[in-house]
């Protein structure tokens, strides 16, 4: 498995509407495994393909705690087929927005239909952290970042900080 490099916002590759996958074949499976490796090495709980520069509707997640066995989930073409009316406000971060956190409102529970790593149709009923994570990752497939759920002022402050950090890294400051 290969650790891929994660794109940091602001970047136009994070704003694309990703394409559906025709079939989960060996190549897509390999990408899913590389994404899991990349996510784990960055201590993340979710990663979407556009974050590694691949404009495809693929995401991976693992919300297991460090003391639990890994619970990797690989999804292609995920779709929300049901969401609860109850919403929750919870803090989110993102591997593409390092060190930035903000509270986002989302449905508390969702049911998602997707293709797994063997090209089988499956459904996942998610609640709590997993529900928040899958909705956040699915947003990435539509070019939406968690900051896009905030006020434009809050979004600008966060993106400006990230731009500044990138510029400083580029000049080696």
Verify binding: residue 45, Ni ion, rule CB under 5 A. Answer: no
Q: How far is the CB of 172 from Ni ion (least distance, A)?
A: 27
* # residues contacting Ni ion (CB under 5 A): 1
Q: How far is the CB of 95 from Ni ion (least distance, A)?
A: 6
Stretch that binds Ni ion, among 26-34, 75-83, 93-101, 115-123 (CB under 5 A): 93-101
**What sign for the dihedral angle of Cα 149, 150, 153, 158?**
negative
Q: Could you count the other beta carbons within 10 Å of the beta carbon of residue 65?
A: 9
Stretch that binds Ni ion, among 65-73, 86-94, 106-114, 148-156 (CB under 5 A): 86-94
Verify binding: residue 39, Ni ion, rule CB under 5 A. Answer: no
Q: ∠ CA 156-160-166 to the nearest 5 degrees?
A: 150
- 59 with 48: CB under 8 angstroms? yes
Residue from 9, 94, 102, 158 binding Ni ion (CB under 5 A): 94
Q: Is 137 a catalytic residue?
A: yes
Q: How far is the CB of 150 from Ni ion (least distance, A)?
A: 14
3-class state of residue 55 by DSSP: coil
Comparing CB distances to Ni ion, the nearer of 32 and 94 is 94
Q: How far apart, in whole angstroms, are the C-alpha atoms of residue 160 and residue 20?
A: 32
Q: How far apart, in whole angstroms, are the C-alpha atoms of residue 153 and residue 151?
A: 5
Residues in contact with Ni ion by the rule CB under 5 A: 94
- Residues designated catalytic: 137
């Amino acid at each position: 498995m290969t650790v891929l490099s994660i794109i940091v916002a602001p970047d136009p590759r994070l704003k694309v509407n990703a394409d559906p996958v025709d079939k989960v074949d060996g190549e897509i499976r390999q990408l899913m495994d590389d994404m899991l490796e990349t996510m784990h090495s960055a201590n993340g709980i979710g990663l979407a393909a556009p974050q590694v520069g691949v404009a495809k509707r693929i995401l991976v997640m693992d919300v297991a705690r460090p003391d639990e066995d890994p619970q990797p989930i690989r999804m292609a073409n995920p779709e929300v087929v049901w969401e609860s009316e109850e919403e929750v406000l919870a803090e989110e971060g993102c591997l593409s927005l390092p060190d930035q956190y903000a509270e986002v409102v989302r449905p508390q529970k969702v049911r998602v239909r997707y293709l797994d790593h063997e090209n089988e149709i499956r459904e996942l009923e998610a609640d709590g952290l997993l529900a928040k994570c899958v909705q956040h990752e699915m947003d990435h497939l539509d070019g939406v970042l968690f900051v896009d759920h905030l006020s434009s002022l809050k979004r600008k402050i966060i993106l400006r900080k990230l731009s500044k950090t990138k510029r400083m890294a580029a000049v080696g400051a």
